[in-house]
Structure 1
Amino acid sequence: MGQRRMRSRQDEKGQDTGVDDRHMQIGEVAARTELSLRTIRHYEETGLVIPSARSQGGFRLYTETDVARLMVIRRMKPLGFPLDQMRDLLDATDRLDRDDPLGAAEREVLLGRVRAYEQAAAEQVDKLRVQLARAEDFAATLRARLDQNTPVAPS
């Protein structure tokens, strides 16, 4: 991905917003993640994703890293992971991604946590596939019933 410029943004009146091109306001983040403003604020209140900065006017400012965290949460949500498990996975991946070196034992513990979430996600995906197949079968059954009972127009 290209490097973002460091110039400041201006609002519709041409006034400096105090936001550089490395940061996004919540509306842009909502559009990119397809999450509502309310949901993003909720994740902030629960400590899952804290904005990286605030503008001069006090607006939440997010980075690409913040967006990536929100995407992890967005992908976990439909698989039924509760907020505490989301927090636990994000903590493990944050620690694995840090620049400071980890001991072999700590690294293995963290990787074990990530593996457990990957396995749980795979199991949930399998369950959802079964549910989807049943739903598709049900819809096909209804279509067939409708087709059987739709009068044929006379020739």
Structure 2
Amino acid sequence: MSDKDEGRRLLHIGAVAERTGLSLRTLRHYDEIGLVNPSERTEGGFRLYSDAEVERILLIRRMKPLDFTLEQMRELLDITHDVAQPDAPIEARQKLREIEAIAIERRTALENKVAMADEFLSRLQDLSSPRQDGVKPETGL
């Protein structure tokens, strides 16, 4: 780390991967496509990430289960940067609300899928458990 970095902590890509639960390959891909670029590189070429970049990566990770595309992720990262500014454009706040509505809708769909999966697992457990009264359970799944 150089003198200019003394007040700021930079993490190697391996530490970022561990902290975010993403693979090195995924982090390298995000860098290659310009989604999240490391702050610096070491003399040996290793990627170094600031806490702000790690937060961006965590935001992306949180979007993945909701099936946002890489382009939508890029758009949200830009919007979150814009709305953090004191003179944030109204359009950015409106777009953020639109993305929030999409996220809520997709989360609800995921909840419904989990509920169906739980019902299915419960049914399988009922079928695989021997009954004490000797009667075979009905076989309809």
Decide which structure has greater strand share. Answer: 1
Q: Distance in 2 between matches of 1:95 and 1:58?
A: 31
Q: Aligned equivalents of 2:90 and 2:25: distance in 1?
A: 36
Question: For 1:114 and 1:52, how far apart are their aligned partners in 2?
Answer: 26
Name the structure 2 match of 1:42.
29
Q: 1:96 aligns with which of 47, 65, 83?
A: 83
* 2:9 maps to which of 16, 22, 27: 22
Alpha-carbon distance in 2 for matches of 1:66, 1:98: 17
Q: TM-score, normalised by structure 2?
A: 0.84
* TM-score, reference length from structure 1: 0.77
Residue 78 (structure 1) aligned with residue 65 (structure 2)? yes
- What is the CA–CA distance in structure 1 between the aligned matches of 2:11 and 2:49, rounded to whole Å? 5
Partner of residue 143, structure 1? 125
In structure 2, runs of 5+ residues without a counterpart are 135-141
Q: Which runs of 5+ in 1 are unaligned?
A: 1-7, 9-18
Q: What does residue 98 of structure 2 align with?
A: 116
Aligned sequence identity (%): 43
Q: One-letter code of the match for 2:92?
A: L
CA–CA distance in 2 between the matches of 1:60 and 1:47? 13
* Residues in 1 aligned to 2:69 and 2:96: alpha-carbon distance in whole angstroms: 15
CA distance in 2, matches of 1:89, 1:35: 19
Superposition deviation, residue 40 in structure 1:
0.5
Aligned residue pair count: 130
